[in-house]
Structure 1
Amino acid sequence: MKKYVFLLGVGLMSLTYGQETNVEELKKLGDQFQIEHEANLKFISEIAAKKGWDEAQLKKHFLGKYGDYLVYIDNTDIDQIKVADVDKLYDNTISGVAVTGEGMTVYQWDGGRIDTAHTEFTDDRASNMESAESPISDHATGVAGIMVAAGVSPAAKGMAPSANVVGYDFYNNLNEIVTESANNLEYMISNHSYGYQAGWKYGEYDQSLGEGWYWFGYPSMDENESAYHGIYSTLDSYIDNIARNAPQHLMIKSAGNDRNTGPGTAVEHAVLGDNDEWEISSTFRPVNCGTTGYDCLPYGAIAKNILLVGSTNQVAGNGRYNGPSSVSPSVFTSFGPTDDGRIKPDVVTQGSSVVVPTANNGYWSQGNGTSFSSPSVTGIAVLLQQLYYELNTEYLNAAELKALIINTTNETGDYPGPDYKYGFGLVNAFNAANLIVDETNNDAIIINDVKAISEKSYALTATGDEPIRATLVWIDPAKNPGSLSFELNGRTPMLINDLDMRIIEDSSLTEYMPWTLDVENPSAAAVPGDNVLDNVEQILVPSPSAGSYTLTVNHKNGISGITQAYALVVSGAKLSTQSTNDLQAKKVGIYPNPVRDILNLSGLEGDAQVQIISANGQIVKSEKVSNKQVNVNSLPAGAYIITIKDETGATAHKFIKK
């Protein structure tokens, strides 16, 4: 039998943007977010006083102003288990290993506190971090249940029924996310089943006008389409910055329920004027996102580095996947693309007709919404982390986990490849677990870093028995909020570091390229091409010949930061012996770390050229080393990267100078 190859190489790491959590930068972000939060609390108080409104009521849906955005927030309201084949992870089906989430913890930010007394949360597995001022919430309780409910009601059993859940409300979410990211250095998975308002919404968002239809958009920009759909906002930039500095933390978010929302007829409603005040209008506006449903993702769901989850109906037939035609989108789920054309949502799973626990009475109810598809995937991610740790005694980072989930989805939609309705497909926990442990599949997980000046190549061997599928994911730097403009359907790419993946069949020199989609023709089939928009690239070789292939990872237009870490997941092919030996043999190391005077180098083959790079990207030392030692006594205290190049290649390490 042939075994999976797991290569967990440590290559070049950026001080701020590598594979280690940057606690110092996270603390700075936390301070910044807390200042903004307090300023917005003051802003809300001033509005309430000026208008004579109930401040507590205003705070329920209004978070203040971030950049150019008045931010209104709300929730995005045993079938799921079968749809994603999760039950096969419970019963030793996967190589004799059963995982239920025991000993694992998942976080959620939602509209209130979890009802921790519900019988589904046995053994004190659910806890709240908010005070009693935050109300117990049906929605928060249901979301937690989808992730970790014990299964007292079998239909409501959670994905990870033995895991723990820690709950926050979403009113100061940015600062809290930063704090927990800095405290959970090995792994962190969090669910975010809430959304920021875009387009039509029924409720009370102006206490003077009362309950009714509100249209979150600016008629002066467009009478029918809200600029809040598809736009990369200040909040998306903030989330990407957190993810960049916390590469162990995968944030999983609901895509939103905006599609088809609206009165559908000409009714009196409120719209935003150019002065950001609500105004009464009777103009007819179509339901959100028109007849096609595309371009329906609200801002705040547009970040590059999250895993965005859309919703499907229950799979047709016996509840298990049976081909693309067995999967259909929920009537409410928001479709992509983003305004710059990126492939979102990333994945989908069932969010319709879901049984969940409810608050205060110990009962259950049936709910619908991407709010309930997102925690399903979050619970699956917890199981995959547990399984990976049991086999490898370490956890996947966020990019690896995201790549694993995307690479193992079931095909959906009318055409092969991703689309703007389903993303890369229907999540399948069994496929993902098999990629980790099944000794018969011969798949490979590869983790490395791309240097700013070179291409990385991997020699692959395919049996020809199944397609080759390769998924490349990297945590891209955030777009600077100061460079963002509030415009309708702006096409400026949000991608900063543009990595490129290619697969070449060695015998014929046939080149295979990643999937691309057309933002101007969103219903069209995906086609292979040069993807210049996404920080997720996937290549499919549908009918490979048995033999050797070369997979390359390169970049264009330089790298922001010293390097760019990436995760690569490949199925349908294995690393050749040469690639495996090359990667495993490269064990150049440094010690001691932290260091005061002399830094020792181990594993060198002869002389080496050494460069030391400071936190601001400056080369502060460059020399040839023949005695396997580098004197760092003269360097100021702080964090540095040392790059070491000998006759076998180059590596890099982060070290701390005392």
Structure 2
Amino acid sequence: MQLRYNLLLLWGLCSPFLFGQQKQTTSQLETVQVNQLRSGGSVGVDLKGSGVRIGMWEAALGSAYLPDTSLSDLSAVSAQQGTGTSSHATTVAKILASQGNAVPSEQGVAPSAQVFAYTYDYPHTTLGAEIGSAIEEYNLLISNHSYAEGNGWVNDTFWSGVIDMSETEDYKFGYYGNESRMLDSIMEVYPYHLAVKAVANERGQSNGGTPFTVYSSSSYNIVSRSSPVPEQDGGADGYDGLSRDATPKNALCIGAVNNISGGFSLISDISFLNSSSAYGPTDDARVKPDLVAPGQLTAGTAYTSYATPVVSGLAALMQELYRSENGRWMKSSTAKALLIHTADAGTSDGSPLPTMGWGIPNAVSAANHVLNADGNQRMIEGELENGATKTFRFYLDGSSDFRATLVWTDPVGTSPALDFNSSDLDDSVAILVHDLDIEFWQESGPSMLAQPWKLSAANPGNSAWRGDNNVDNVERIDYPSASISAGWYTIRLSHDGSLSKTQEFSLLISDAGGITFSAGSWNTAPSSWGSDVFVRITDVSNVARISDDVTISFLEMEPATDLQINEANSVTISGEALLKSNSTGTAQIAGPITGLICRQSYISGSADWRSLSSPLKTTVGEWAEELSHVRWSGTTTPSVYSWDASNVQWNALSQSDSMNKIGAVSLYMGSNSHSQFTILPFTKTTRGRPVERHITLSLEVDDDVSSSDDHKGWNFIGHPYLASIDWQGLDVSQTTGSFYIWNQAESDFATSDGTNFTLGGRRYIPSGQGFWVYCPSGSAGTLLMDSAAVSVSIDQELTKSITPQLRVSWYMSDGRVEDVVLLLERGAKLEFDIWEDIPLRDGGDPSRAELFWGELNEPCAIARVPSDSGVIALNVAPGSSGLDSVIVDIENAETKTFYWEVDTAVFPLDGVPLSVWQNGGKIFLHWNSSRIALEENAPDGRFIYFEDAIFWTEDAAVDVSIYDMNGAEVDSLKWMGADWKSIDLAPGTYVLRSNEGHVVKFVVL
């Protein structure tokens, strides 16, 4: 039985003296152009794998397993299990992550990565659990597997086939074996983990002419034979040489080629002259190996054991770069897609070969795709639901060849059953579970231009051809520029059969143009976009606005950018929206949007508990997917909690809990003297769909039975939206009116009622923030989270605040200016209060304009009035010097609606005729926070809605229509000039549109 699992270690076990003569790591790096990713290289980056953790599984060389961690250049490699120092393991570790201090020529591909070394030994029944445990313990993004099972001729005298199946062909070549299934399962469970697996070095190995032993039956009885002599490993043409542990769907399988001094430039540079690397494809005609890489250490043989860590290290560099650009790690399907998409092909048309798959990795091309300097290199992580089709629309100028690559982590497949007869050979039944499809279409017509490449199981030596690929979970389309005219094109994603669950996918497209918002404007107006376009927002100084119903296939928003969607319209994301975040800010969206969204939030500071929430529908486990050392309920030290307001206690959470139903979570981040959790700063990523836009929360109310410090009535709430909430825009009457956020710097709660702030309080609550409110005894215990209060504006950490205010400035004929300020404050009185209000200084000048407070006729300088609503009577004394103009401004009070009343005539805030001010006398000021009209754009003039009437501010004719939220026209009005017009509408939300382009949303109560 041991012979069934005999391992060929892929680097000359018969020539151990060659170890220690590692001289060509530099040449290996040049072959895939890793040297250009270092400081001074052509790409302009310095990548060394910082922050990336890699697992390394090694088979025994004799009885030794481990790399020599005593070497100074391997100080970042730690042995986790096993004994004995192996020259094979040491060499793999050097290629992967040698720091190159002692021997600069041996610097590894990812010298700043951390490597955790494990053993791979017979029996392998616990290997899957071991890998899973290591991924969870150390957050391994990558694992390197430089070993392969020996199939066919294990040595000159033993053939590992079963003669009951075939006397000349080992069924295991190309077969989907248990260890391939195990790697597929690992990557399905851990979607960010990429396993990189060596194929064998057995191609062409054969009998040495002596009698040999074989297996005779399903019992694996060993018998001696001399004829017929089984074929050489891989067959006569070599196209059936993959060991059964090198046929996984999800892992990246690597073959070996000669090193290329100076890097790839011509297809003829790729050579197998010194390589016995196994060729594919698999029995079901999948493309394997996926890639080849340089495997030479000296001028001799190229081994897959040493090609594989080149690719593992390159994957680490790409993860480092992607995270620095996007604030998060790539999913394994994206990392795999990136290396395949940007590889240098072994064919002129980009098609795969059974010898080398998609070609040899190109570090420069991969890095440039991630850097995306022109904004047209697309990397999309999306989802496809059962029965769905997704369309991605983009512009091609025809100047370059087109390429699109689709990769998904497929559910683990079923190995073909074995009957131990000839029917077991080369079973071509597809191992694929979810059969996704990609097609390239031209809009004009429309007409389908291309389907993905595929290989033939019956004739693997034939060139790949285009068609419906139902075996690979890597599908790539290449199309020549000579056949592309400038215009709009689409990629269509669909599936055959059914999907047992929503399938996540990664889609990469090169040179795909789209819509951009920069320098304050769209390059194409939203009204003319069409559907399923690519959209990118890069302007951090201006708010991007959409006032049309549009469908976007991929929306990319750079950190600190803002998108305001008109409340009467909607944006549908058919693919994915990526909202980026870094230390400069977080991308925000206000307004109606649906679809899959990936939102980032930048978390900084020192180690402490954080109060966080999710504006997207997800489970706690999915929300915490990227975090380190998360411990769930049922463990001795849980690290994620929610607040149970009813029972006044903290509850530890499980991965299956709904992130949205529990409100907010409290979890520890950073490192302290006791433990290390997620290292800060950290960019947190959440994926899901937006929550409902109007949410009524039922809160726990203090019963006044227990003492006041028992926490009864305190509620821990999660922010449910993709932009900041303006606390002033919410009805908080059933709470104390304030919210509380833990301020780490103050070691206390920052407090805000939307107007007054303490200890760093603020008016706006950032998206993704958890906060506290208190409901006193007697309150109804409700809080309406209304999307109308969502704003793309956000105040920073406040050291001072601006109280909402109205300022009246009289500009007098003699050049003087007189100001009166009305401060809107909670708890203020409508009556004049000598202790609160500031009267004008004594010795008033009769020539100066003055404003007097109501019946008391007190001259005002600063008056405090209630913030919610009210009416005050004022008296105007224009002064003898005369008035040239009067200007009325508001600050930090945009959610209020104001108007003046004089002798039953009403005027908008800035619409009182100068003659009224010049005449003086009594004037009433009305304000109300519950009747708000939100101006969505700003053509000349504006409309003001208040108390079932609408005021038009301009002395010009205008026509308007009013629509309900179903799009039905419910009223039409016409103004000939500035005037109020009454409306009679049922309670609800409405949108006014004018023939001049005004759009106003208002609520009738």
Scaled by the length of structure 2, what TM-score is found?
0.49
Match of residue 249 from structure 2: 304
| 1:87 partnered with 2:35 | yes
- In structure 2, distance between residues paired with 1:237 and 1:630: 46
Contact 1:590 1:601 in 2 (8 A): no
- In structure 2, distance between residues paired with 1:626 and 1:412: 52
Question: Helix, strand or coil for the counterpart of 1:262?
Answer: coil
1:126–1:591 distance in 2 versus 1, CA, 3 Å: closer
- In structure 2, distance between residues paired with 1:452 and 1:182: 30
Match of residue 25 from structure 1: none
Aligned with residue 191 of structure 1, among 134, 139, 144: 144
Match of residue 565 from structure 1: 504
Structure 1 residue 507: Cα displacement: 2.3
Question: Helix, strand or coil for the counterpart of 1:434?
Answer: helix
Match of residue 325 from structure 1: 268
- CA deviation profile, 1:169-208 (whole Å, cap 9, x unmatched): 10253221111123355x6101001111200112xxxxxx
- In structure 2, distance between residues paired with 1:104 and 1:348: 23
1:290–1:95 distance in 2 versus 1, CA, 3 Å: closer
Aligned with residue 378 of structure 2, among 444, 447, 451: 444
Aligned with residue 84 of structure 2, among 135, 138, 145: 135
Aligned with residue 134 of structure 2, among 171, 175, 180: 180
- In structure 2, distance between residues paired with 1:527 and 1:471: 16
- In structure 1, distance between residues paired with 2:34 and 2:693: 54
Aligned with residue 529 of structure 1, among 464, 467, 489: 467
Contact 2:235 2:241 in 1 (8 A): no
Contact 2:280 2:288 in 1 (8 A): yes
| 1:248 partnered with 2:192 | yes
- In structure 2, distance between residues paired with 1:597 and 1:508: 46
- In structure 2, distance between residues paired with 1:150 and 1:630: 55
Question: Helix, strand or coil for the counterpart of 2:153?
Answer: strand
Question: Helix, strand or coil for the counterpart of 1:554?
Answer: strand
| 1:346 partnered with 2:373 | no
Structure 1 residue 406: Cα displacement: 0.3
Q: Rg larger in 1 or in 2?
A: 2
Structure 1 residue 462: Cα displacement: 1.4
Match of residue 288 from structure 1: 233
Structure 1 residue 394: Cα displacement: 0.6
- In structure 2, distance between residues paired with 1:98 and 1:302: 34
Structure 1 residue 157: Cα displacement: 2.3
Amino acid aligned to 1:371:
S
Aligned with residue 97 of structure 1, among 9, 26, 45: 45
Contact 1:260 1:331 in 2 (8 A): no
Question: Helix, strand or coil for the counterpart of 1:599?
Answer: coil
- In structure 1, distance between residues paired with 2:179 and 2:94: 27
Match of residue 259 from structure 2: 314
Structure 1 residue 227: Cα displacement: 0.6
- In structure 1, distance between residues paired with 2:413 and 2:619: 36
Aligned with residue 391 of structure 1, among 325, 339, 343: 325
- In structure 1, distance between residues paired with 2:427 and 2:67: 39
Structure 1 residue 483: Cα displacement: 5.6
Structure 1 residue 523: Cα displacement: 1.3
Amino acid aligned to 1:236:
S
- In structure 1, distance between residues paired with 2:212 and 2:659: 70
1:478–1:221 distance in 2 versus 1, CA, 3 Å: same
Structure with larger RCO (C-alpha < 8 A, sep 6+): 1
Corresponding residue pairs, total: 518
- In structure 2, distance between residues paired with 1:464 and 1:625: 43
Amino acid aligned to 1:547:
G
- In structure 2, distance between residues paired with 1:545 and 1:81: 38
- In structure 2, distance between residues paired with 1:507 and 1:419: 33
Contact 1:252 1:306 in 2 (8 A): yes
Contact 2:440 2:492 in 1 (8 A): yes
Farther off after superposition, 439-448 or 82-91: 439-448
Match of residue 538 from structure 1: 476
Amino acid aligned to 1:390:
S
- In structure 2, distance between residues paired with 1:590 and 1:278: 58
Name structure 2 gaps, 5 residues minimum.
Answer: 12-25, 60-64, 517-532, 537-551, 556-576, 578-592, 598-614, 621-652, 665-690, 699-1005
Contact 1:114 1:144 in 2 (8 A): yes
Match of residue 551 from structure 1: 491
1:249–1:591 distance in 2 versus 1, CA, 3 Å: closer
- In structure 1, distance between residues paired with 2:436 and 2:340: 18
Contact 2:414 2:431 in 1 (8 A): no
Aligned with residue 201 of structure 1, among 154, 160, 163: 154
- In structure 1, distance between residues paired with 2:66 and 2:457: 39
- In structure 2, distance between residues paired with 1:528 and 1:601: 50
Between structures 1 and 2, the one with greater helix share: 1
- In structure 1, distance between residues paired with 2:70 and 2:211: 43
Contact 2:148 2:200 in 1 (8 A): yes
1:213–1:227 distance in 2 versus 1, CA, 3 Å: same
- In structure 2, distance between residues paired with 1:441 and 1:95: 16
Structure 1 residue 599: Cα displacement: 3.3
Amino acid aligned to 1:84:
V
- CA deviation profile, 1:274-324 (whole Å, cap 9, x unmatched): 131222222223321233111100001111010001111123xx4421211
Structure 1 residue 408: Cα displacement: 0.2
Question: Helix, strand or coil for the counterpart of 1:107?
Answer: strand
Structure 1 residue 407: Cα displacement: 0.1
1:414–1:279 distance in 2 versus 1, CA, 3 Å: farther
Question: Helix, strand or coil for the counterpart of 2:661?
Answer: strand
| 1:273 partnered with 2:216 | yes
Question: Helix, strand or coil for the counterpart of 1:411?
Answer: coil
- CA deviation profile, 1:615-653 (whole Å, cap 9, x unmatched): xxxxxxxxx98954699xxxxxxxxxxxxxxxxxxxxxx
Scaled by the length of structure 1, what TM-score is found?
0.74
1:232–1:326 distance in 2 versus 1, CA, 3 Å: same
Match of residue 462 from structure 1: 396
| 1:520 partnered with 2:458 | yes
- CA deviation profile, 1:366-415 (whole Å, cap 9, x unmatched): 76311111111001001111111111111101000000000000021476
Match of residue 624 from structure 2: none
5 Å matches for 1:455-494? 455-480=389-414, 487-494=424-431
Amino acid aligned to 2:534:
S
1:342–1:481 distance in 2 versus 1, CA, 3 Å: closer
Contact 1:600 1:629 in 2 (8 A): no
Contact 2:416 2:427 in 1 (8 A): no
Amino acid aligned to 1:100:
K
| 1:368 partnered with 2:317 | no
Identity of aligned residues (%): 30
Match of residue 655 from structure 1: none
Contact 1:230 1:295 in 2 (8 A): yes
1:324–1:532 distance in 2 versus 1, CA, 3 Å: same
- In structure 2, distance between residues paired with 1:591 and 1:456: 22
Question: Helix, strand or coil for the counterpart of 1:549?
Answer: strand
- In structure 1, distance between residues paired with 2:418 and 2:487: 47
- In structure 1, distance between residues paired with 2:321 and 2:404: 21
- In structure 2, distance between residues paired with 1:92 and 1:514: 38
Farther off after superposition, 145-154 or 431-440: 145-154
| 1:431 partnered with 2:381 | no
Question: Helix, strand or coil for the counterpart of 1:423?
Answer: coil
